[in-house]
Structure 1
Amino acid sequence: MKTIVFLLLTTISISSFSQTKFEKGYLINLNEQRINCYIKDNDWKNNPTEVKYRVGENDETKIADLKNTKAFGIDNKVAYIRAVVDIDYSSGDVSTLSGKREPELKTDTVFLKILVKGEASLYYYENSSLIRYFYSTSSKPIEQLIYKEYINGDKGIFRNRDFTAQLWKNVRCPETSINIIKTIQYKAKDLIDYFRNYNECVNKSYTDYTLSEKKKLFSLTITPGIEMATMSIDSRETNLIDVNFGSKFNYRIGLELNMLLPFSHNKWSIFMEPTYQHYSGHEVIERTYYLPRDVDAEYKSLEIPMGLKYSFQLNKKSFLFLRGGMVVDIPFNSTITYTNQDRLYKILSGNSFTVGLGAQYKRLSSEFRYYGNRDILSSSMSWDTKYSKLSFILGYRIL
């Protein structure tokens, strides 16, 4: 098992390194000179303070930062602009909220991510748990859209939504009502939609940089497969009734729900895969001086593997993936029966873990997956039971 974990971690490390690549882009220095170059795409979660680039794809790596760079971007993907702005650094943590309504502004020089660029432009800044939105118009320089949660004595949490007044005053179409403004939340989707609609309203061309970022966050995949499972039952009281059913080939069918996580180029995702599985076994225990004993195992359950999945792209249509997580098992109509002794034990399974390695091409996928040992008579202290399996799974993405 340690070897499997080591190989998984090693593969993730290698793939992470190989995928952080230089892509076509540009830099604009403080003298307004544009340099076409290759930018190292780190899929920044927090706004960067510097960026690595190469003038030629195989040239030496250089660094552009806030001291010498006005703007940079990756073609058809993302753009950042240098700005000297007042930022509200008030805490958004409920346990450390300020008692003041007014924003706690501090002048700082940062790279702002451009979300929408036009007659009215929208920008984004994130640093750790701090998320702020900024805007500008053709007649107004970049400033923060003000939103702040604060505590008002013992009256609870209040919200300073001054950004709605800023939009009403500076970014508003004639037909936009105050009620529409009031419904806007301090969230990317609401603000992007508002700035997009405003630029269309004033008949000005604009660029929505978020369109290139949009990916299908959820996917649904049918996952049939075959499994080689082993089951053994050992009594802690006597070895006369111990039985090993050996390896059996079974079938399974599942439905995997996958949700992409919004960082690291969507390489990471969360998965959950309700799966029907069935194991059936029969053995005869033969001991000296004892009559043969028939033992039957009938094990049906709904397994629910859940955990993290890591993908790394080979080309535009195919990629490899690794997964790891826990397995919740819900048995039904499942028993261990000692026929000659009229003993019947109901299977109540414990949880286990799973790791897998697979490949996907377009909608089709295949995977080898290992399920660790689980105790299938977890309600009894008299038994030591083990059930594990290796699965080969095919997949077809339907959504």
Structure 2
Amino acid sequence: MKNIKFIMLFLAFLLFIANQAFSQKTFERGYIIDESGIKKDCLIKNIYKTDNPTIIEYKLIGSTEVKTGSVAEIAEFGITDTLKYVRSIVKIDKNEDGLNDKLQAGLHLVKDTLFLNQLIEGKANLYRYSLGSLNRFFFNIESDTIKQLIYKRYLENGKEKKNLTYIQQLIAKVNCKSFRYDRFQNIKYNTNSLLNFFEDYNKCESEEYINFHSKLKRRKLIKMYARAGINVSQNELKRAQVRYFDKGTGVGLKLGYEIEVVIPITKKDIFSVFGEVSYYQFKIKMEDDTPLPPRTNPIVRTYSNYTFIHKTLEGAVGLRAYLLLNQNNAFFIDTSLAGNGEIQSEIVIGNSSTRYNFDYSRIFGVGYKHKKFLFQSKYYYKEIPRIEQNGDDNQNVSGFVFTVAYHFF
């Protein structure tokens, strides 16, 4: 099957695109601020990981030399508009949280110089330090000293207790006059809850702020989707030597997997390329009870009742464009070209069958994106050259596919 070769080439192309995207993420445009306070534009090696770094690798603009910088040499660094780390001397409790016989209520604050990941920048600033399962949050107001938000679980007489000092710290230092007391009681010691609180505080104080965490999430360049849908197809068989054709409609299931790679030519995710591998099938029963039109050749073979069966593995590659409504919602359109590796594609007439081989498919789609879900309708058209007897008959399949896709990575 020649189209199987297309699918293999398509998969190789898709892997190449993904590799190029990851390679682009290996070194990204950013900056460093050295000990002297001098800011230098550079390319920084990928630091999108959970643990806070102690050393970074970077290349100055125009240079191929990879340099390293430690917490002793760099005061601040970041990926442009996406990520920011600041060096700070802080007191931190590095004892891991957990419940065991050795866990005590007391804190073990030690002074250390760390790169802190800045999550919120504004009048009130929020930072995070992560190392393995250890997560500690820090804060300050404007240029005040950065301090750890204190939270700890411990055992007392065999029962779990919690040190919730961080709530008192926030009441004392990060308190807008419109906040009610229950606003503080609902703050959890995790990234999302603290982000929401610090955003609310800066809004309440009418201060401009930057949420680096949301910017980082929005700029993930590679997205993977699982797809499932309903395929509504119409088969059209054009009879040889006569101006006459048969039509039939069938419904089937389509399952697939998609990789989407954002084209980072704008600050927002507007354009992308994508590839999809999917399996789908349908069965069309065609009943032809209409007599042939006048003045047709009487020796032309006609079909009365027959079934068109189609099962295929399809590989598609295409372009997509988004119309962004807000952070969670967008409309989009896309177009793609697909090759097919037929598993079964034939017309069954009584006890005999005639095999067909699909040509490339042309596909056009429109859809709506909401958070992690895509809802899409696609129209496709396929020419089917006859590869067995009666090669002067032509056939094509067109139809709509209605799919739901879930963004899982």
**Normalization by structure 2: what TM-score?**
0.59
- 1:177 to 2:177 alignment: no
Counterpart-to-counterpart distance in 2, 1:159 and 1:300 = 61
2:137 maps to 133
CA 1:129 to 1:169, structure 2 compared with 1: closer, same or farther past 3 Å?
same
1:89 maps to 96
1:208 maps to 210
Counterpart-to-counterpart distance in 1, 2:154 and 2:249 = 53
Counterpart-to-counterpart distance in 2, 1:120 and 1:37 = 27
1:114 maps to 118
- 1:60 to 2:65 alignment: yes
Following superposition, the deviation at residue 326 of structure 1 comes to: 4.8
Following superposition, the deviation at residue 278 of structure 1 comes to: 0.8
Following superposition, the deviation at residue 213 of structure 1 comes to: 0.9
Q: Which has the higher contact order (CA 8 A, sep 6+)?
A: 2
Name the count of aligned residue pairs: 322
CA 1:160 to 1:60, structure 2 compared with 1: closer, same or farther past 3 Å?
same
**Normalization by structure 1: what TM-score?**
0.60
Following superposition, the deviation at residue 129 of structure 1 comes to: 6.0
Structure 1 counterpart of 2:259, from 309, 312, 315: 309
1:228 maps to none
CA 1:60 to 1:391, structure 2 compared with 1: closer, same or farther past 3 Å?
same
Residue type of the partner of 2:33?
L
Counterpart-to-counterpart distance in 2, 1:366 and 1:16 = 24
Could you tell me whether the CA contact under 8 Å between 1:89 and 1:105 is conserved in 2? no
Could you tell me whether the CA contact under 8 Å between 1:26 and 1:39 is conserved in 2? no
Could you tell me whether the CA contact under 8 Å between 1:45 and 1:263 is conserved in 2? no
Q: Secondary structure at the match of 1:89?
A: coil
Counterpart-to-counterpart distance in 1, 2:187 and 2:181 = 10
CA 1:372 to 1:191, structure 2 compared with 1: closer, same or farther past 3 Å?
farther
2:362 maps to 392
Q: Deviations over 1:73-120 (max 9, x none)?
A: 2343331112443345336xxxxx657585986856542221223443
1:198 maps to 201
Q: Secondary structure at the match of 2:146?
A: strand
- 1:28 to 2:34 alignment: yes
Counterpart-to-counterpart distance in 1, 2:308 and 2:155 = 55
Q: Deviations over 1:119-165 (max 9, x none)?
A: 43101344566554322345553314526699997x9x987655334
Q: Secondary structure at the match of 2:49?
A: coil
CA 1:172 to 1:68, structure 2 compared with 1: closer, same or farther past 3 Å?
same
Following superposition, the deviation at residue 192 of structure 1 comes to: 2.4
- 1:321 to 2:299 alignment: no
Could you tell me whether the CA contact under 8 Å between 1:372 and 1:389 is conserved in 2? no
Counterpart-to-counterpart distance in 2, 1:151 and 1:266 = 47
- 1:69 to 2:74 alignment: yes
Residue type of the partner of 1:310?
E
CA 1:392 to 1:162, structure 2 compared with 1: closer, same or farther past 3 Å?
farther
Structure 2 counterpart of 1:369, from 338, 346, 351: 338
Q: Deviations over 1:186-235 (max 9, x none)?
A: 444432232233345456x5532438717xxxxxxxxxxxxxxxxxxxxx
Structure 1 unaligned residues grouped into runs of 5+: 92-96, 215-261, 285-295, 378-383
2:128 maps to 124
Counterpart-to-counterpart distance in 1, 2:162 and 2:250 = 52
1:237 maps to none
Residue type of the partner of 1:208?
I
Could you tell me whether the CA contact under 8 Å between 1:136 and 1:143 is conserved in 2? no
Could you tell me whether the CA contact under 8 Å between 1:280 and 1:297 is conserved in 2? yes
Counterpart-to-counterpart distance in 2, 1:69 and 1:315 = 29
1:6 maps to 12
Structure 2 unaligned residues grouped into runs of 5+: 1-6, 240-245, 290-301, 324-332, 347-352, 370-409
Q: Deviations over 1:331-372 (max 9, x none)?
A: 6x85589999x999998x98x754321123555432123455
